[in-house]
Structure 1
Amino acid sequence: MKAKSYLVLGLGCVLLLAGCQNQTLQQGSSTDYPLLTLKPEDRQLSVKYSAVIEGKQDVEIRPQVSGTITEVYVEEGARVRKGQVLFVIDQVPYQAALKQAEASVATAEANEATAKLTLEGKESLYQDKVISDFELRTARNNYRSAQAALMQAQAELINARNNLSYTEVKSPVDGYAGMTSYRIGALVSSSMTDPLIRVSDNSQMYVYFSMSEKQVLSLTAQYGSLDSALLSFPPIQLQLNDGSTYPHTGKIDVISGLIDKTTGTVSLRALFDNQEKRLMSGGSANVVIPYQQQQCIVIPQGGTYEIQNKIFAYKVVDGKAVSTPIEVFEINNGKEYIVESGLQAGDVIVSKGAGLLKDGTVISASATAATEPNTEEE
């Protein structure tokens, strides 16, 4: 019985001793993490921005006179030329108005000629002292009234001709016709809310996107001014919604000089050729801009973590991980950050798994050799 008790007691002591030794090893152990020694480098990066596509010209075609549509010549989706007749509004009342205006001009011309003859006769009689000065001035006033009436009739004639011409609704630009719900017999007017049809010039497309104020200031610092940045911008690419890359490059042609107070962003516009008609007005895409950053510090996003919208990295100091707040420029490639402050060349950081570390964690001196950041462009 005593032998069994000594055996149990001895086994317990062995297990306790092993546990103490294991705890001692864990307390003194360190963990291997991949490290990165920071150094300045030049990088060619790709930055993406959400964009909206619009035709170079999107024109709403509206009637300028009232009436019933008698002809529809446009086909939805068809190419139209500048000056091409798209719709015809009932011309009968406007043709009648034109005839009436022409008659009014003829009458006014006759009255003006009669008043002129009368004035010439009055002037002759006045020279012979047959009539008084009052009669002469009355004749002159009658002639001026006849001239004014003629001018008014001529203006009404021009207006009548214009109204008749407006019954033919024409396209003001080259482009492609949109959809229309107006057919023969529909009553239209110049005060209607919806356009008859839209015509878009899609030979070239405008692509609108925005940059943050911080990014625009960085461009200004790099190139010296917005105008210089505009001239120095490299050709940009367009990533379509299906993930494909548009085969033609574009050029940024406008940078707004105003900051949107609501969003804190600056609007930019790029121009893309669209000869194959792959781009459609109203679509969306991503603008991809190659971005040259010289002598910058680049770190992988896996070497950072975020708390309350602030970004931190773990710098290795005296063999321990030290949490360090940093400011970064987002590259938008989902892989890396450009460090603007908080780290400098020569610093060693944990390049992966920062979210699993704690401040003060011992980093083994034999940790994974320092690695270079991923330089692959997106």
Structure 2
Amino acid sequence: MMNRILPAGLACTLLLTFGCAKKNEFQAPPAPEVTVQHPEQKDVTIYAGFPGRLVASDDVEIRARVKGFLKTIDFEDGQRVQKGDLLFTIEPEEYQAAVKSAEARLAQAQATRKLADATLKKNQKAWETKAVSELDVLSAEAEMESSEASVMETQAALDNARLDLSYTEIRAPMAGRLSRRTLSIGNLVGDGTSTLLTTLVVEAPIDVFFNLDERALLPFLQGGIRNTKPGKAIPPVKLELADGSMHDEEGEVNYIDPEIDPDTGTLRARAVFANEGVKLLPGLYGKILIPENVKDAIMVPDLAIQRDMSGAYVLVVTAENKVESRYIKRGVLVGSNRIVEEGLAADERVIVEGTQRARPGIEVRVAAPKQEKENH
């Protein structure tokens, strides 16, 4: 009997225990928290980059202009020189002798002219009294003219001899850096040709040649680049070097080709930099950066921009705290921010943190700004 009562009592106890428990209800997880900010809107300067190569603004082949044996070399290979510095000397003795010979011939011609002048004056005076014939006067005049021509001829020969003598000293025509010499002392130079001795390269200022594509060129054409002097329509430019560093001088675009290259569709241009301190060398590669001022540019952190098969987009939070996507047209990077050219309004709230927890259509909680958190 007791065995049958105990299970019944246990059943009642269990029924009372579990029958009075609360019904199990599903608790929805809290909405994900995100951090938002409005796009930054302000005037910014952006730069369009064009690859280019640095070229010496000038270079000169130093050549022997007279024949002779090389007597001295007055520089070291690679040396920087100033205008007028002595570079080479060709043995001058032959040309010094030629100058003396020309001076002697000039003196002789001047003496002959002096005699012819005295003879002419004498015959002209005698002709007044008919002491000489008219033919004698005419002959004296012809002799005078011939002697004057002889003086002019010998003077020109002397000038030429002095010029040849001056060519025996070869000097730097401008400041720059010399390449290595091509000949050593004792070699015969100028034997039928103007022998190349070395090359002088002007390092400062220095030129950068680059090409403008049609898309970049059109705004400048519309701005009247062809109606102004070079350098006036295009603002000062910057130079980015191959390692990404920026040259510390601004340059000026001082030349643009008159027509577009039909093969490349580009317009060749040249920018010049002062190159003080000779920090730039011919042959280096660089990138010319042309500035453009953008008014009221809309910018968002570049990390907030995502991509899918349809393109670039950002996630925004509506007034109802719902997530929506905005497909945008990306512009250039300005620091850590990216300019948004199309697709986003300045008053929208862009998700900048928590994008991995947000997706279009869900509700989110907007985190308090960092300053408010710090105050609490």
TM-score after normalising by structure 1: 0.65
Aligned to 2:176: 175
Query: 1:145 offset after TM fit, Å?
Result: 0.5
Q: Distance in 1 between matches of 2:162 and 2:312?
A: 80
* Pairs within 5 Å for 1:139-154: 139-154=140-155
- Kindly indicate whether the alpha-carbon contact (under 8 Å) linking 2:57 and 2:202 is maintained by their aligned counterparts in 1: yes
Q: Specify whether residues 85 and 345 from structure 1 end up closer, same or farther in structure 2 by C-alpha distance, changes over 3 A only.
A: same
Is 1:94 aligned with 2:85?
no
Structure with bigger gyration radius: 2
Q: Distance in 2 between matches of 1:338 and 1:188?
A: 67
Cα RMSD (Å): 4.6
* Pairs within 5 Å for 1:234-313: 235-246=236-247, 248-256=248-256, 258-262=258-262, 263=264, 264-275=266-277, 277-294=278-295
- Kindly indicate whether the alpha-carbon contact (under 8 Å) linking 1:211 and 1:266 is maintained by their aligned counterparts in 2: yes
Q: Distance in 1 between matches of 2:151 and 2:70?
A: 34
Aligned to 1:21: none
- Kindly indicate whether the alpha-carbon contact (under 8 Å) linking 1:234 and 1:251 is maintained by their aligned counterparts in 2: no
Query: 1:212 offset after TM fit, Å?
Result: 1.9
- Kindly indicate whether the alpha-carbon contact (under 8 Å) linking 2:297 and 2:340 is maintained by their aligned counterparts in 1: yes
Query: 1:116 offset after TM fit, Å?
Result: 1.2
Instruction: Please give the secondary structure, in 1, of the residue aligned with 2:180.
Output: coil
- Kindly indicate whether the alpha-carbon contact (under 8 Å) linking 1:257 and 1:266 is maintained by their aligned counterparts in 2: yes
- Kindly indicate whether the alpha-carbon contact (under 8 Å) linking 1:207 and 1:272 is maintained by their aligned counterparts in 2: no
- Kindly indicate whether the alpha-carbon contact (under 8 Å) linking 1:211 and 1:268 is maintained by their aligned counterparts in 2: no
Instruction: Please give the secondary structure, in 2, of the residue aligned with 1:268.
Output: strand
Instruction: Please give the secondary structure, in 2, of the residue aligned with 1:258.
Output: coil
Deviations along 1:20-71, one digit per CA (max 9) or x if unpaired, are: xxxxxxxxxxxxxxxxxx9997553232222222334423222222222111
Is 1:108 aligned with 2:109?
yes
Q: Specify whether residues 297 and 255 from structure 1 end up closer, same or farther in structure 2 by C-alpha distance, changes over 3 A only.
A: farther
Unaligned runs of 5+ in 2: 1-38, 314-324, 346-358, 365-376
Select between 99-108 and 201-210 the one with higher mean Cα deviation. Answer: 201-210
Q: Distance in 1 between matches of 2:228 and 2:190?
A: 45
- Kindly indicate whether the alpha-carbon contact (under 8 Å) linking 2:64 and 2:194 is maintained by their aligned counterparts in 1: no
* Pairs within 5 Å for 1:100-249: 100-189=101-190, 192=193, 195-221=196-222, 227=228, 230-231=231-232, 235-246=236-247, 248-249=248-249
Q: Specify whether residues 117 and 304 from structure 1 end up closer, same or farther in structure 2 by C-alpha distance, changes over 3 A only.
A: farther
Q: How many residue pairs were aligned?
A: 309
Query: 1:251 offset after TM fit, Å?
Result: 2.2
Q: Which amino acid aligns with 1:129?
A: K
Select between 48-57 and 229-238 the one with higher mean Cα deviation. Answer: 229-238
Q: Specify whether residues 224 and 178 from structure 1 end up closer, same or farther in structure 2 by C-alpha distance, changes over 3 A only.
A: closer
Instruction: Please give the secondary structure, in 2, of the residue aligned with 1:182.
Output: coil
Q: Distance in 1 between matches of 2:194 and 2:48?
A: 41
Query: 1:73 offset after TM fit, Å?
Result: 0.7
- Kindly indicate whether the alpha-carbon contact (under 8 Å) linking 1:94 and 1:163 is maintained by their aligned counterparts in 2: yes
TM-score after normalising by structure 2: 0.65
Q: Which amino acid aligns with 1:172?
A: P
Instruction: Please give the secondary structure, in 2, of the residue aligned with 1:161.
Output: helix
Q: Specify whether residues 228 and 260 from structure 1 end up closer, same or farther in structure 2 by C-alpha distance, changes over 3 A only.
A: closer
Q: Specify whether residues 228 and 96 from structure 1 end up closer, same or farther in structure 2 by C-alpha distance, changes over 3 A only.
A: closer
Select between 196-205 and 144-153 the one with higher mean Cα deviation. Answer: 196-205
Q: Distance in 2 between matches of 1:194 and 1:304?
A: 67
Q: Which amino acid aligns with 2:49?
A: K
Q: Which amino acid aligns with 2:112?
A: N
Instruction: Please give the secondary structure, in 1, of the residue aligned with 2:83.
Output: coil
Select between 201-210 and 93-102 the one with higher mean Cα deviation. Answer: 201-210
Instruction: Please give the secondary structure, in 2, of the residue aligned with 1:142.
Output: helix
Aligned to 2:55: 54
Runs of 4+ in 1 over 4 A off after TM superposition: 38-43, 190-194, 222-226, 231-235, 295-305, 312-315, 328-331, 335-339, 343-346, 363-368
Q: Specify whether residues 302 and 221 from structure 1 end up closer, same or farther in structure 2 by C-alpha distance, changes over 3 A only.
A: farther
- Kindly indicate whether the alpha-carbon contact (under 8 Å) linking 1:68 and 1:185 is maintained by their aligned counterparts in 2: yes
- Kindly indicate whether the alpha-carbon contact (under 8 Å) linking 1:250 and 1:273 is maintained by their aligned counterparts in 2: no
Q: Specify whether residues 94 and 80 from structure 1 end up closer, same or farther in structure 2 by C-alpha distance, changes over 3 A only.
A: same
The alignment-based identity, stated in percent, is 25
Select between 114-123 and 228-237 the one with higher mean Cα deviation. Answer: 228-237
Deviations along 1:234-285, one digit per CA (max 9) or x if unpaired, are: 5533222344333x1222141426124343314131323331x221123222
